[in-house]
Structure 1
Amino acid sequence: MATPMTADRLVAALRAEGLTVVEVDGWRTNNRNHKGPWGPVHGVMIHHTVTSGTASSVALCYGGHSNLPGPLCHGVIAKDGVVYLVGNGRANHAGLGDPDVLQAVKDEAPLPPDNEATADGNRAFYGFEAINLGDGKDLWPEVQLEAIERTSAAICRAHQWTERAVIGHLEWQPGKVDPRGFTMASMRARIGDRLEANTPPPQEEDMTPEQAAQLKKLHDQRALAPWTYKGATFPDRDAFNFLVTTDANASKALAGLVTLAAKVDALTATVADLDDVELSPEQLAELAAKVAASPVLAESIAELVADKLAARLAE
């Protein structure tokens, strides 16, 4: 039995275990706490997403879908081992499961067969979705398996749990098969070895510049946050606000172009009249000041001025 970690403590625990962590905008307040309690927590549950693609998988787990609102987990573990945090609090990932399994997790005892679905798992488990199609054919890269191991170990270490606190969805709820493609027994053995060895983890600085650039691009693109219509969570991902702002900017840009074109015509006419008008030094200074005040126009009239000067020199 344990109080759930704060967002800051979770991030620190994951990074201390050597994981690369991306905090998706808004994840710290993204939860289902209004639907039920979050905690006390007793373990970690591992799932597979039945999807492919990092950005789309993370977006789905953050926002959910029409039949199941997000967040659908606390973190998404990508094929390259990066952990994307999408929820903080109660999440729709475990559903109802076997109370005997929950008791075994609490006791850190061997798991019994799951044959009931009456205990609230969303309250009791941290949930992590690993990106995989779950068809038994989609391969699990070693770097992703190691990230599942490190993620689970980080949370167990923070709560002083053993590897028996980590279960798969298929061990919790009858009819579930995830994660498919490796056994939870083998994963628990890896987690146990890591907890026992207390292996010093590599730091984030071990990332190559290319990996760091890729992570920054994914984060900056904000492809992870879903578009909404007049939504309040992500104002800069509000489709209605985006269209209104774009229309206003377009109108402003058009007005600016009209003004600019008028200034070009006026200055061009002034230069064209140089053959017929003798300008005093004061007038020449005034004309120069006009050009200097509009640097963007200088290039557009430079050729005309050069032609006029060349013609006069030839005389």
Structure 2
Amino acid sequence: MAKPLSANTFLSVLRAEGVRVVEVGNWRTHNRNHKGAWGPVHGVMIHHTVTRGTAATVRICRDGYAGLPGPLCHGVIAKNGTVHLVGYGRANHAGLGDDDVLRAVIAERTLPADNEANTDGNARFYGFECENLGDGSDPWPAAQVNAIVRASAALVRAHGWGKDGNTSVIGHSEWQPGKVDPRGPGIGMADVRRRVAERLRHPANWSTGGADTYRVRPGDTLSEIAAAHGTTVAKLARLNGIENPDHIRVGQTIKLR
């Protein structure tokens, strides 16, 4: 349980964790606080947007649509790993979810299966919407997943929530029955939690996942892999004998150092 960070502190901890941030309009005061509580907060929730294109995705998440006014999250995580801040305070992202899941998040223990929708999640979770079609085949680039991990770790670190197993970071699918997000090749909440826990064993400015290699996922580019691991395209190309940086294949193992 924790009081939400101030907007300025929220921005500061994201940047300290190495997150690339774009501030969208009056995001600090754009919220749904007049509709209900904002806080205490207990964790971070990850979603996919079912949209294509960063500009359109950011606009929808900021403004909402008929029947669901914005903001629809606090930050939009684009395919290139940039986080666009669109609101701060109560946001229409989590909806009603399972009180047993909330208790597990608070206790930082293994999540039960979600089978009820009886608890307001908009008051209790930070929310990040991730640009993805959600069709199960739209890929999640390395830079985007890295941004999810960094943004989640920033908030967990700031609040002093648990580090091992870290159920302070959950997917929408783990909160509300019938939801499937985040979904697709290259994303999994168990892996996200593992990587968050690893980041929290290091200072906020830690720039690599500590691995010596990376296996290419659908949608990855060499430039995104380099950015996600604090290195350069030229170095990766040299280490791996890659003549054309635009030609890497899914499943290829990339040496990082």
Query: What is the TM-score normalised by the length of structure 2?
Result: 0.78
Q: Does residue 12 of structure 2 align to residue 7 of structure 1?
A: no
- How many pairs does the alignment contain? 206
Question: Deviation at 1:26?
Answer: 1.0
- Give the RMSD, CA atoms, in angstroms: 1.6
Matches within 5 A, 1:152-163: 152-162=152-162, 163=166
Question: Which structure: greater helix fraction?
Answer: 1
Work out the CA distance in 1 between the residues paired with 2:195 and 2:178.
26
Structure 1 unmatched ranges of 5 or more: 209-315
Conserved 8 A contact 1:77-1:129: yes
Letter in 1 for 2:15: R
The one-character-per-residue Cα deviations of 1:97-139 (angstroms, maximum 9, x if unpaired) are 0000000000001000000000000000000001000111111
Aligned residue type for 2:175: W
For residues 17 and 193 of structure 1, what CA distance do their matches in structure 2 show?
Answer: 13
Cα deviation 1:144-187 (Å, max 9, x = unaligned): 00000000000000000122200000000000000002221111
What is aligned with 2:104?
Answer: 104
Matches of 1:74 and 1:106 in 2, distance apart? 21
Partners in 1 of 2:8 and 2:119 — Cα distance? 29
| Equivalence for 1:186 | 191
Q: Which has the higher contact order (CA 8 A, sep 6+)?
A: 2
Given that 1:101 and 1:111 are in contact with CA atoms closer than 8 Å, whether structure 2 keeps it comes out as yes
Contact 1:16–1:201 under 8 Å retained in 2? no
Percentage of matched positions with identical amino acids? 63
Query: 4+ runs of 1 displaced by more than 4 Å?
Result: none
Query: What is the aligned partner in structure 2 of residue 197 from structure 1?
Result: 202
Give the alignment's TM-score, normalised by structure 1.
0.64
Question: Corresponding residue for 2:129?
Answer: 129
Give the structure with higher Rg (CA).
1
Q: Distance in 2 between matches of 1:28 and 1:143?
A: 25
Q: Which has the higher strand share?
A: 2
- The residue that corresponds to 2:179 in the other structure is 176
Q: Secondary structure at the match of 2:167?
A: helix
CA distance in 2, matches of 1:42, 1:127: 11
Determine if contact 2:18/2:204 at 8 Å carries over to the other structure. Answer: no
| Matched AA of 1:188 | R
1:63 alignment counterpart:
63
Q: Aligned with 1:4: secondary structure? A: coil
Give per-residue Cα distances to partners, 1:215-245, cap 9 Å, x unaligned.
xxxxxxxxxxxxxxxxxxxxxxxxxxxxxxx
* Counterpart AA for 1:144: Q
Q: What's the counterpart of residue 289 of structure 1?
A: none
Within 5 Å, give how 1:87-102 maps onto structure 2: 87-102=87-102
**Distance in 2, Cα, partners of 1:87 & 1:103:** 26
